[in-house]
Amino acid sequence: MPGFGIIKGLKETARNFFGSYHDPGRFVTIQYPEEKREHHENYRSFPFLVYDGDPVKGLRCVSCKICEKECPPQCIYIVPEQDGSGKLLKFPRIFDIDVSVCMGCQICVEVCPFDSIKMDQEFEVSTADRFGGLILNRSKLAKSNEYYHQIRPAEATAVDAQLAAERERQQAKAAAAKSPAPAAAATREKKP
């Protein structure tokens, strides 16, 4: 029938128009900031540093600086801790990220060999301080593994399992290095 397509289209438009007033599934506008959307697990904003237990001593970061080198806009700044003799320690004395420059690309997360840096979901970081207000330092970046589980449960669980397996491998390796190899021990026993 001529004109049927137009009527069908108008019906669909009317359904969407009125539906947007009473069907919660069709509401596209929310009353932010009073109302906030639930984020999908994969949603990301800026990076944060994961710690286990203690916010300072428990930081997983070993200050290898790989993320600093790989960050495309160069917004990570790391200075490793040193002992009294000037030897570099596996701990960042300074770890800053300028989130006004960070583009949330997640490259730092992908290159970190220690699962120390992950993407946060916190996006309300605006500040009136134009000079350094958006440079997040080590203490602002440090967040617990429990927090990581809260925002990314599946990913954090997989990382925990991977780290536990790695610890076991290292322990087994250390134990094997301490105990003499069976063949070597047998040879020693045979000697007069």
Residues in contact with ligand SF4 by CB under 6 A are 47, 61-67, 71-73, 75-76, 78, 97, 102-108, 112, 114, 116-117
Q: Exposed, middle or buried, 160 (CB in 10 Å: 0-12/13-18/19+)?
A: middle
Query: From CA 4, how far away is CA 13, in angstroms rounded?
Result: 14
Minimum gap (Å) between residue 142 Cβ and ligand SF4: 11
In the complex with ligand SF4, which residue's Cβ is closer, 20 or 74?
Answer: 74
Minimum gap (Å) between residue 61 Cβ and ligand SF4: 3
- Look-up: residue for tokens 């790391």? 78
In the complex with ligand SF4, which residue's Cβ is closer, 7 or 103?
Answer: 103
Residue 78 contacts residue 108 (beta carbons within 8 Å): no
Minimum gap (Å) between residue 45 Cβ and ligand SF4: 9
Residue 142 contacts residue 52 (beta carbons within 8 Å): no
Which residues in 33-177 belong to E strands, given as ranges? Answer: 47-51, 76-82, 88-98, 117-119, 135-136, 142-144
In the complex with ligand SF4, which residue's Cβ is closer, 71 or 142?
Answer: 71
In the complex with ligand SF4, which residue's Cβ is closer, 66 or 149?
Answer: 66
